[in-house]
Amino acid sequence: MAGAADAAIPVYTWAVKAVAAGLAGVGLARVLLLWRGKEAHPTGAAWLGALLAFGCCSAGLGAAQEGLGMPESGAVWVAMLVFMAAAGWAATTAGAWCIATRLESDGRGRRLVRCAGYGGLAFFAACTAAIVKSPTFDIASVAAGPGGVMLVAGAAVARAWTLFLGALAAPLGYGVALALASIPVTLPTWLSYDGVFHTGLAVSYLLLGEGSTRFLRRARKPDRAAAYDSLEAALILSPRTA
């Protein structure tokens, strides 16, 4: 959530965002350990890991920008928004992969993941151009929105409920913050509307990290893993998968 920068941003606002970045980083490390130990589906590990990595970068840069009082127009701000849009791309593809794990045909699953990946990449590129031209939080929210919807849908189809709750937590936190701001409600001096949203973000990355590791272990089954038995096959940009 963004708006006009406050003269003095409460410490909690940027501190809880730094916590969100740390939780995303921990989730990413857990996914990488699963992949390295060949305990995770490579496709799922690639895209859920990318989601956590981009989220970690976005939240970390946002915490630094707010904590150091940087303007909402500089390179750090723009990079934060671009990483936020990139997380939307990763979420789009990760959601498609979750759906693909429920399909009987591995070929259909691969095509679904490819379509979501390329479509998400095109949307990300368009949104990045818009962000660079006019770096506003609203554009980044639009860029991340479809990815969040796809991940919620994919997690629901795959019955990955921790992942499902993680995908919902951030938009719910944002919605609560907007609702409080529209009333408006007088908040304690240590809290801000952005701080409410960032709390939802921290909960989101906590659940996404846990949900990712749980679902990756469950999805790593012989009949599902055959089509994704190498990291190369996990990447949608590879020329062709067997």
Q: Across residues 21-44, what is the average pLDDT? A: 92
Band of residue 225 on the pLDDT scale cut at 50, 70, 90: very low
Q: How far apart are the first and last CA of the chain?
A: 43
Q: What is the pLDDT of residue 221?
A: 54
pLDDT of residue 5: 43
Q: Between vectors from CA 139 to CA 56 and to CA 188, what angle results, nearest 5°?
A: 65
pLDDT at 117 over 60: yes
Query: d(Cα 219, Cα 223) in Å, to the nearest integer?
Result: 10
Binned at pLDDT 50, 70 and 90, residue 109 comes out as: confident
Tokens of 22: 């740390």
What are the C-alpha distances in Å from 76 to residues 46, 59, 202, 224? 26, 11, 20, 40
| pTM exceeding the 0.85 threshold for the entire prediction | yes
Lowest mean pLDDT among 26-40, 117-131, 227-241: 227-241
Per the model's pLDDT, the better-predicted residue between 170 and 227 turns out to be: 170
pLDDT at position 131 over 90? yes
Is residue 69 scored above 70 in pLDDT? yes
What is the per-residue pLDDT for 231?
40
pLDDT digits (tens, 9 = 90+) for 190-224: 999 999 999 999 999 999 999 999 999 888 654 44
